[in-house]
Homo-oligomer: A and B are copies of this chain.
Amino acid sequence: MTRFIRQTPEGDDRERLMCPDCGHVAYENPKVVVGSVIAEGEHILLCRRAIEPRAGFWTIPAGYMEMGETVEEGAAREAWEEARVRIALDGVLAVYSIARLGQVQVIFRARFAEPGFAPGPESLEVASFHWSEIPWDDIAFPSVRWALKAWRETAHGALPAATLNPPEDPRGVHRLPVAG
């Protein structure tokens, strides 16, 4: 495996991971996590993690966004993979930065598009908790707590939503006009 070292490439202003032999720069970028708080009335869907970190603790369906998908598609994919649930998105609930981990989380407020849920391969179990019964002491990550509280503040009103792609270009397919 190539051994990268930390040095500042010519013309750059910070250290990057570089191959000392060929000068190849392996840029490290923050990763996007997409997820959703899925609710029906006062009940919220949570998954108990089957994998580390924090196996055995409860989380909302969320995970790393893949190339070629939109944030909305990624959130829907994760909901299916982790909780076997088909969701409809209301809008953006929160945008969190976990700077220490190089992570940006885009969290949606969502509803059930179809009834039913079940654990996917990364979940031990999936359950619908009434707000008053959320297992706060067994939540996997602080940002899950933040998202649940953000949901609570908006659950009964119009979502104060950031705008998403316009209807005419939902996947960002836009072609640049020819310059000049």
Q: Which residues of A contact B (CB under 8 A)?
A: 1-2, 14, 19, 22, 24, 26, 28-32, 53-54, 56-57, 64-73, 92-104, 106, 141-143, 146, 150, 153, 160-166, 169, 171-174, 176, 179
Contact = CB atoms under 8 A, between A and B. Distances in A.
Contact of A103 (B103, B104, B172, B176): B172
Given A1-B19, A95-B92, A106-B104, A143 B161 contact: no
The secondary-structure label for the interface of chain A is loop
A165 B105 CA distance: 10
Given A2-B2, A104-B71, A142-B169, A179 B97 contact: no
Contacts of A165: 96-97, 146
